[in-house]
Amino acid sequence: MTTNLKLKDKNYKKIRKLNFQDIYAGNENALPFINESSSKQLIALEIFYNLAKGTSSILKNVLDNSINNPKNRAELADNTNADLVNIKFNIETEEEIDKCIDFCKEITKKIQKPLILTGADKKNIDKILIPKLAKAAQKQCTIGVIEEDIYKDVIDSIKDTNHNIIARSPIDINLAKQINILLTEAGIAADRIITDPNIGGLGYGLDYAYSIIERIKLAGLEGDEMLNMPIIAFVGEESWKTKEARAESADPGWGKMETRAVNWELLTACSMITAGANIVSVLHPDTVDYLKEFILSQKYFSDYSIM
């Protein structure tokens, strides 16, 4: 069926173009899958420096012989169809930092794909760890996550490097803008910032994340220079926490856990991409492959432009 519907033309600005070691995110002037100006989405496969407590048996089965070796896990991720490799340094104590730095020096020489290096999500550790990761990395990386509570402690060590940084705020458009303003005022080039709105993976959290990402993207397209950065969504960490991805004994209508868990991550990632996320980070290699198919399957409606 054809339609004569014509959507109203608007002169949208471009989202900033951000370089991940010669792979680019951003530079679009439309919401995803609207027209030929929409940006290519990037997929990161995330691995943990320490195998996370309570890691799903499904993810453990994928790791196989790499399960107890972070270097092998990173190399496994490097050999998938992911665009980026995301290493989370999920340590518990400051005493582990020196080993993390040695690992960072080694792995940033070895891994071919662009790297995202993220901290422990513990402020007392990240204030020390993140600056050391930025200095130890042997190539351009993306460093995160930088929140308002710690940005003053880490900014000086990062701003003189060529690393990108991930700016995280609670799911709120005004707070996302605020951290970007603080970082640029502290000397970080706006073209090196990625917005992380800190999504939820289920129900109201997912719905609210979708709404906020879409609002951030539209504000950027309409010319807000502190909201026109590419957006990243850490899908894996959220979706694999949910009961739907973990419950071994569930209603048969839920389907087998092995399929259901990957599908939950996949659908969450598809939602974030459709909302406007330029990069999604996931935990299962199959999700990467399915996401590639999803992105390629979308048709640009080149006869229209967004309202």
- Output the domain CATH number for residue 112: 3.20.20.20
pTM listed for this prediction: 0.91
Residue 3 lies in a domain: no
How many Cβ atoms sit within 10 Å of the Cβ of residue 71?
Answer: 14
Residue 17 lies in a domain: no
Q: How many domains does the chain have?
A: 1
Domain that holds residue 281: 40-295
- Give the span between the Cα atoms of 169 and 173, in whole angstroms: 9
- 26: in domain: no
Let me know if residue 211 belongs to a domain.
Answer: yes
How far apart are alpha carbons 110 and 107 in whole angstroms?
Answer: 5
In a domain, 30, yes or no: no
pLDDT digits (tens, 9 = 90+) for 208-259: 899 999 999 999 999 999 999 999 999 998 888 887 777 777 677 777 878 8
Q: Does the residue 154 lie in any domain?
A: yes
With respect to residue 222, please indicate whether it lies within any of the assigned structural domains: yes
- 172 C-beta neighbours (distance < 10 Å), count: 15
Q: Answer yes or no: is 15 within a domain.
A: no
Over residues 92-132, the pLDDT tens digits come to: 999 999 999 999 999 999 999 999 999 999 999 999 999 99
pLDDT above 70: residue 36: no
